[in-house]
Amino acid sequence: MAATEATKAADEAYDVIVLGAGPTGENLADRAHAAGLSAVVVESELVGGECSYWACMPSKALLRPVTARSEARRVPGLKDAADVALDAPAVLAHRDAFTSYWKDDGQVRWLDSLGIDLVRGQGRLAGPRRVVVDGGRVLTARHAVAVCTGSRAVLPGVPGLAEARPWTSRDATSAKSVPGRLVVVGGGVVGVEMATAWRALGASVTLLVRGDGLLPRMEPFAGHLVAESLAEAGVFLRTGVEVREVRREAPGGPVTVLLDSGDEIVADELLIATGRAPRTEDIGLDTVGLAPGSWLDVDDSCRVTGVTGGWLYGVGDVNHRALLTHQGKYQARIAGAAIAARARGVPILESDRWGAHAATADTLAVPQVVFSDPEAASVGLTAAAAEKAGYRTRVVDQDLASVAGASLYADGYRGRARMVVDLDREVLLGATFVGAGVGELLHSATVAVAGEVPIERLWHAVPSYPTISEVWLRLLEAYRG
């Protein structure tokens, strides 16, 4: 049937073919189209991608009530009223609404309104500038093919694990009811956020971590503060453990997790959140000389290196630069502009640092907010990363509880802030904030880091009193001594 269609249909030519209709693919098509190029997007699942249905949107929808309750419990006049269990069915129903009930009509309408074509099916490269969809329809690209297929959760090779049908991030964000007992494996963002959410919704949660702490990509105090808070919420955290074997006797029945210590934990569900792999195994990479299933190596314009003719781009998770929705969208804006510039014959300079065609922030100013309780937010380099990269740095820490705006925000406020300064240029390399209400504070640091605003000018960026942002003044005062 597909073969017949392929025979019938003439090749369809576009300026840009986008594989994957997640936020990255959508934005890339949008930017290309806005620059006057024709674009088609190929998607085998839902238009809107992982973020809309199984990541950012549902996880934040599950977590926001947890934060709001936590904050209400920590102001006078409301403590007793807010000291109640969350109404889990109401929260889950809200989450369902925020994922549009896992239907993509709205997003399809949006693409349509822009004049971007959508082809449903599995798109596979078939040599240079050529994509075949479901083995039939053939698309050709005058200027570029952009791989925006994202990433998926990876299950480690633990005996019995695959057979036990564990949750991955998709199941954890879309589950229809609260499990009685949940074991979470992995102390990164997904593990921490889902332990936070499901515990608050009533599950008994055990969090198993191979390393010695949570959120290992952030400053160590982030993991410490979040671990302390999770423990107080009743999450049983075990660090330094390995899962040796998993057993589930019957589908839907209890699952037994065996640890290297010999301990066994019995639960109703098991979430594996230990890593991601690129969704590049079945997109025809071999037809253009690349290894299926590999991360795509790209330059700062997100063009895949080593492909003759320079027509292939890898944008978003697939390039492994920064596996975050907002960075994928950022790369899409940059790559879209680069594709459009090259289509017009405009040369793109390799030295275009912070320019219109270089995703410089990917390496120097990636922001991330973990919607745990407390929130953990960071941008740029950690102290350790800056040192490793050879910068001459000074690290300044500040207890957030001593900031008036924080102590007014929540009784018994606990939090911490750190800035990492490049002593040679006197600009910020990175900043981290952990505490209630810091999620929106992060962008101030992102502007400072990406803007390379000199410390002496930050001295004139006055924080409004009494907000938590006054921590900036304390950090700068400490730096200036």
* Residue stretches of the annotated binding site for FAD: 60, 123, 149-151, 317
In the bound state with a second copy, the residue whose beta carbon lies nearer, of 92 and 265, is 92
Candidate list 8, 80, 232, 252; residue touching a second copy; CB under 8 A? 80
Residue 459 beta carbon to a second copy: minimum distance, rounded to whole angstroms: 8
In the bound state with a second copy, the residue whose beta carbon lies nearer, of 6 and 72, is 72
In the bound state with a second copy, the residue whose beta carbon lies nearer, of 343 and 453, is 453
Which 247-286 positions form the footprint of a second copy (CB under 8 A)? none
Residue 345 beta carbon to a second copy: minimum distance, rounded to whole angstroms: 22
Helical ranges in 344-420 per DSSP H: 361-364, 383-388, 404-409
Which 156-185 positions form the footprint of a second copy (CB under 8 A)? none
What residue type is assigned to position 468 of the chain? I
In the bound state with a second copy, the residue whose beta carbon lies nearer, of 89 and 240, is 89
Residue 322 beta carbon to a second copy: minimum distance, rounded to whole angstroms: 9
Residue with tokens 């129903």: 93
In the bound state with a second copy, the residue whose beta carbon lies nearer, of 56 and 298, is 56
Q: Is 94 in the site for a second copy (CB under 8 A)?
A: yes
Q: How far apart are CA 290 and CA 278, in angstroms?
A: 13
Q: Is 35 in the site for a second copy (CB under 8 A)?
A: no
DSSP letters, 100-128, are: GGG--HHHHHHHHHHT-EEEES-EEE-ST
Which 36-75 positions form the footprint of a second copy (CB under 8 A)? 51, 56-57, 60-61, 64-65, 68-69, 71-72, 74-75
179 to each of 17, 197, 263, 459, how far by Cα in Å?
42, 12, 21, 50
CB 300 within 8 A of CB 352: yes
Q: Is 356 in the site for a second copy (CB under 8 A)?
A: yes
In the bound state with a second copy, the residue whose beta carbon lies nearer, of 14 and 472, is 472
Residue 40 beta carbon to a second copy: minimum distance, rounded to whole angstroms: 22
119 to each of 112, 137, 154, 461, how far by Cα in Å?
11, 9, 27, 49
Helical ranges in 214-300 per DSSP H: 220-232
Q: Is 440 in the site for a second copy (CB under 8 A)?
A: yes
225 to each of 32, 97, 138, 236, how far by Cα in Å?
43, 32, 53, 15
What residue type is assigned to position 472 of the chain? W
Return the range that interacts with a second copy (CB under 8 A); candidates 79-87, 177-185, 297-305, 339-347: 79-87
Binding-site positions for NAD(+): 186-193, 275
Which residues, listed in sequence order, are joined to residue 141 by a DSSP beta bridge? 14
Q: Is 447 in the site for a second copy (CB under 8 A)?
A: yes
Cα end-to-end span (Å), the chain:
74
Look up residue 193 and give its two tokens. Answer: 């956020």
Candidate list 229, 319, 368, 382; residue touching a second copy; CB under 8 A? 368
CA nearest to 441, candidates 431, 450, 455, 451: 431
Which 295-354 positions form the footprint of a second copy (CB under 8 A)? 324-327, 329-330, 333, 354
Which 448-467 positions form the footprint of a second copy (CB under 8 A)? 448-453, 456-467
The count of residues in the chain is: 481
Which 106-125 positions form the footprint of a second copy (CB under 8 A)? none
Candidate list 2, 9, 36, 84; residue touching a second copy; CB under 8 A? 84
CA nearest to 372, candidates 152, 212, 214, 203: 214
Which 418-437 positions form the footprint of a second copy (CB under 8 A)? 437
In the bound state with a second copy, the residue whose beta carbon lies nearer, of 12 and 452, is 452
Instruction: Tell me which H or E stretch contains 427.
Output: strand 427-435
Q: Is 103 in the site for a second copy (CB under 8 A)?
A: no
Return the range that interacts with a second copy (CB under 8 A); candidates 87-95, 255-263, 279-287, 382-390: 87-95
- Total of chain residues touching a second copy, rule CB under 8 A: 85
Residue with tokens 């017949």: 4
Give how far the C-alpha of residue 470 lies from the chain's centroid of Cα atoms, to the nearest Å: 28
Helical ranges in 318-458 per DSSP H: 325-343, 361-364, 383-388, 404-409, 442-450, 455-458
Count of CB atoms situated within 10 Å of the CB of 250: 6
Which 381-420 positions form the footprint of a second copy (CB under 8 A)? 404-405, 407-409
Q: Is 193 in the site for a second copy (CB under 8 A)?
A: no
Residue 443 beta carbon to a second copy: minimum distance, rounded to whole angstroms: 4
What's the CA angle centered on 9, arms 8 and 13, to 5 degrees?
160
In the bound state with a second copy, the residue whose beta carbon lies nearer, of 296 and 476, is 476
Look up residue 63 and give its two tokens. Answer: 């977590």
CA nearest to 105, candidates 153, 47, 183: 47
In the bound state with a second copy, the residue whose beta carbon lies nearer, of 272 and 366, is 366
Q: How far apart are CA 80 and CA 87, in angstroms?
A: 16
Return the range that interacts with a second copy (CB under 8 A); candidates 78-86, 106-114, 145-153, 280-288: 78-86
Candidate list 37, 141, 442, 475; residue touching a second copy; CB under 8 A? 442
In the bound state with a second copy, the residue whose beta carbon lies nearer, of 179 and 437, is 437
